Amino acid sequence: AQTVTQSQPEMSVQEAETVTLSCTYDTSESDYYLFWYKQPPSRQMILVIRQEAYKQQNATENRFSVNFQKAAKSFSLKISDSQLGDAAMYFCASAYSGAGSYQLTFGKGTKLSVIP
Amino acid sequence: EAGVTQSPTHLIKTRGQQVTLRCSPISGHTSVYWYQQALGLGLQFLLWYDEGEERNRGNFPPRFSGRQFPNYSSELNVNALELEDSALYLCASSLFRSKETQYFGPGTRLLVL
């Protein structure tokens, strides 16, 4: 079984500044994937970034990047040049192909506020 | 390209009733996942359908069921509704060759009174 832990229930950042959201996970699998999803007040869950465990290079999507530390089982999300539209719940998630199922295991989420 | 769609957006039911939620995946996606997001319980995996078959289910009672149609759309049925079934039900879809990467719909908010 996989577990995902987000230790920061809430965080805030000034507009245009950088913020890092933490995530740790636990798995015995070697082939797995890690994700960050964003859920704004509209409730739509939006895929922010995806990381394949076998790739050492950290994934980047525009202002969003991750710091993937495989040995430490850590997967943090860095948001640069924060914008008001970044305010949302952020969920870290993992998936693996064990037993032929790819369901996502989510952390509890971090609520990010952006201060103008 | 249209995203995942779900209907209805909101639903109010009373205990003991039955409800059907619907999901249309992104065009070309063959897998559909259902998740429950209840207050205090986080996001929990419910069901996975792939190529018309139920492939896996989470730790939910049998009154949660569903199906996937030949066009890959899906229904989630909940029988004998209980108060604790009140939640946001999220549907996600994925490509055959990238099943782990899931794209979500806007969800159906179910309130059981």
Per-residue model confidence as pLDDT tens digits over B9-43 = 999 999 999 999 999 999 999 999 999 999 888 89
Out of A33, A43, A106, closest to residue B100 by CB = A33
CA distance A32 to A30: 6
Distance from CA of B46 to the nearest CA of A (A): 9
- Give tens-digit pLDDT for A64-113: 999 999 999 999 999 999 999 999 999 999 998 766 778 899 999 999 99
Cβ-defined contact of A102 to B45 (cutoff 8 Å)? no
Establish if B56 touches chain A: CB-CB under 8 angstroms: yes
Cβ-defined contact of B48 to A103 (cutoff 8 Å)? yes
C-alpha separations of B38 from A51, B35, B45 in Å: 27, 10, 11
Distance from CA of A15 to the nearest CA of B (A): 27
Which token pair is A40?
């704004």
- Give tens-digit pLDDT for A19-65: 999 999 998 888 899 999 999 988 889 999 999 998 889 999 999 99
CA distance A32 to A98: 9
